[in-house]
């Protein structure tokens, strides 16, 4: 029985939340394996829009188990707020539906203050983080100074780690960033109160998932951000602080890589990104505004307007190689309706030379020229289409062209924000 990994093929915001929500209905378990509250997955059920940050999108379905893996960094305060908000909307009526890894690392108050202050300190050279403390939390994890979920349930361990960390963090905040430091007792008391609210969810999620596999349960792995934001394979340094690629589904959940079967890459029918960094197909004209307005391109977490441009298949092919993508899902196809012609980026040139692949040097990428092919657009509204044959001929040709250039079959097409507005050519759990 195949398991499915959802990954973004661009700079995030590809519509992964909706696809996870749809496929949750076919799965038994939904696992979030990286990132933190900097990611926002928007799901529309009926007329109700729900934005999820740390809790997997499967929580909106009954009788599904949602797991937050060890690869995620958790802000316990906003985590509790998010749970309360989900419950207030009538979802998540059974606390046993959610499990939180005991070895996930925590975002501490000093991480958030450092994140914001450091961005302000950089001025025009800032990365464009969300200020949620994700980067500093991952830094502590890698430097072996992190505080894990399990640590706050041992008073002696928690006090020792917190005290040691604050010596360094307060010095850095006060003497370099010119910010106020923290009182350790205030943080300790706050987190002791928070641990009582989250302890019912905390468990060894790796062991739970291992036994679930033995019972032939179907697992859906929910990625956050996109491949071009991967800390190793993205447009470094304008990236997130974790590995967003499919391999992280294994590392961030505690399951071996042989358990990853179908890798479904989510690609928006055009391209967007939030924050700073190179963007070869960016459109800063009326077409870019058309895509932003028609697509509602504003960040789910920050509300920031997204930068918009033509689809970049050099990016998608790079993501396909990094992730071993087996199938593609195209989202927001409906946004392109009304355009007379659509451009497709097939590669880049630099100093008059066609580049063999996606360049690692962002300064080269900033100076690249995109190589475009132009295809005919369509005028028809496709938001009511439920079958591939109902799409206009030019929309079908556009999809076929993407398949031809990437060498990957498109098996799902999203034509609107709602659950029902999707064309499923093949079920990812049965391919």
Catalytic site includes residue 350: no
Q: Kindly report the average pLDDT of the chain as a whole number.
A: 93
Determine the average pLDDT of the residues in 279-307: 89
Q: What's CA 160's distance to the chain center, in Å?
A: 33
Q: Give the mean pLDDT of 203-207.
A: 98
Asked if the model's pLDDT at residue 42 lies above 80, the reply is no
Look up the pTM and report it.
0.92
With cut-offs at 50, 70 and 90, classify the pLDDT of residue 99. very high
Across 115-119, 185-189, 244-248, 317-321, least confident range: 115-119
Structure confidence at residue 108 (pLDDT): 98
| pLDDT band with cut points at 50, 70 and 90 for residue 52 | confident
Q: Which has the minimum average pLDDT: 50-54, 290-294, 320-324, 389-393? A: 50-54
Confidence of residue 304 (pLDDT cuts 50, 70, 90): confident
For residue 98, name the pLDDT band (cuts at 50, 70, 90).
very high
pLDDT (0 to 100) of residue 275: 79
Q: What is the band of 40 on the pLDDT scale with cuts at 50, 70, 90? A: low
The count of other CB atoms within 10 Å of the CB of residue 55 is 25
- Between 49 and 277, the more confident residue is 277
| pLDDT tens-digit readout, 68-89 | 999 999 999 999 999 999 999 8
Q: For the residues 29-37, what does the mean pLDDT come to?
A: 94
Question: In the chain, what are the domains?
Answer: 4-102+202-259 (3.40.440.10), 105-197 (1.10.300.10), 266-424 (3.90.170.10)
3-class secondary structure per residue, the chain: CCCEEEEECCCCCCCHHHHHHHHHCCCCEEEECCECCCCCEEEEECCEEEEECCCCHHHHCCCCEEEECCCEEECHHHHHHHHHHHHHCCCCCCHHHEEEECCCEECCHHHHHHHHHHHHHHHHHCCCCCCCCHHHHHHHHHCCCCCEHHHHHCHHHHHHHHHHHHHHHHHHHHHCCCCCCCCHHHHHHHHHHHHHHHHHHEECHHHHHHHHHHCCCCEEEECCCCHHHCCCCCCCCCCCCCCCCCCHHHHCCCCCHHHCCEEEEEEECCEEECCCCCCCCECCCHHHHHHHHHHCCECCCCCCECEEECEEHHHHHHHHHHHCCCEEEEECHHHHCCCCEEEEEEEEEECCEECCCCCCCHHHHHHCEEEEEEEECCCCCCCCCCCHHHCCHHHHHHHHHHHHHHCCCEEEEECCCECCCEEECCCCCCC
Share of the chain above pLDDT 70, in %: 96
Higher pLDDT, 428 or 2: 428
pLDDT at 41: 61
- 13 annotated active-site: yes
Q: Kindly indicate the confidence band of residue 44, based on its pLDDT and cuts at 50, 70 and 90.
A: low
- The whole-number average pLDDT for the span 53-60 is 88
pLDDT at residue 46, rounded to an integer: 58
User: Considering 13, 75, 140, 230, which one is annotated as catalytic?
Assistant: 13
Q: Which of 21, 41, 75, 327 is catalytic?
A: 41
Residue whose C-alpha is closest to residue 13's, from 45, 35, 46 = 35
Q: Would you say residue 305 has pLDDT above 80?
A: yes
319 pLDDT exceeds 70? yes
Please check the confidence at residue 125 and state whether its pLDDT lies above 90: no
Provide the 10 A C-beta neighbour count for residue 327.
Answer: 18
pLDDT, tens digit (0-9, with 9 covering 90-100), for 397-431 = 999 999 999 999 999 999 998 889 999 999 999 98
Task: Please state the rounded mean pLDDT for residues 175-180.
Answer: 94
CA dihedral over 114, 117, 122, 125, signed as positive or negative: positive
């Amino acid at each position: 029985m195949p398991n499915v990994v959802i990954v973004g093929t661009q700079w995030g915001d590809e519509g992964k939340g909706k696809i996870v929500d749809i496929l949750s209905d076919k799965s038994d378990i939904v696992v979030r394996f990286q990132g933190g509250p900097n990611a926002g997955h928007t799901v529309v059920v009926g007329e109700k829009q729900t934005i999820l940050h740390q809790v997997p999108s499967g929580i909106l379905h009954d009788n599904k188990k949602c797991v937050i893996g060890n690869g995620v960094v958790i802000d316990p305060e906003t985590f509790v707020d998010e749970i309360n908000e989900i419950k207030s909307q009538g979802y998540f009526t059974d606390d046993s539906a959610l499990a939180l890894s005991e070895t996930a690392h925590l975002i501490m108050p000093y991480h958030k203050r450092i994140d914001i202050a450091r961005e302000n300190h950089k001025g025009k050279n800032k990365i464009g983080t969300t200020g949620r403390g994700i980067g500093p939390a991952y830094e502590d994890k890698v430097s072996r100074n992190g505080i894990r979920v399990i640590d706050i349930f041992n008073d002696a361990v928690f006090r020792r780690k917190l005290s040691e960390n604050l010596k360094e963090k307060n010095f850095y905040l006060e003497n370099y960033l010119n910010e106020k430091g923290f009182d350790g007792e205030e943080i300790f008391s706050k987190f002791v109160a928070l641990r009582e609210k989250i302890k019912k969810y905390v468990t060894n999620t790796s062991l739970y998932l291992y036994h679930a596999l033995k019972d032939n349960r179907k697992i859906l792995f929910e990625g956050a951000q996109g491949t071009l934001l991967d800390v190793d394979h993205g447009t470094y340094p304008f990236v997130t602080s974790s590995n967003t690629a499919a391999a992280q589904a294994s590392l961030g959940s505690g399951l071996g890589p042989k358990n990853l079967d179908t890798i479904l890459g989510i690609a928006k029918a055009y391209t967007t990104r939030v924050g700073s960094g190179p963007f070869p197909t960016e459109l800063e004209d009326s077409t870019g505004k058309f895509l932003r307005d028609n697509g509602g391109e504003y960040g789910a977490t920050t509300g920031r307007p997204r930068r918009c441009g033509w689809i970049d298949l050099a990016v998608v092919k790079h993501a396909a190689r990094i992730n071993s993508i087996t199938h593609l899902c195209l989202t927001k196809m409906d946004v392109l309706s009304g355009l007379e012609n659509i451009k497709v980026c097939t590669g880049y040139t630099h100093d008059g030379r066609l580049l063999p692949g996606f360049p690692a040097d962002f300064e080269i990428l900033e100076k690249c020229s995109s190589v475009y092919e132009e295809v005919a657009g369509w005028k028809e509204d496709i938001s009511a289409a439920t079958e591939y044959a109902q799409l206009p001929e030019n929309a079908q040709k556009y999809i076929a062209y993407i398949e031809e250039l990437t060498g990957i079959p498109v098996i799902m097409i999203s034509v609107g924000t709602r659950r029902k507005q999707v064309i499923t050519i093949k079920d990812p759990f049965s391919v």
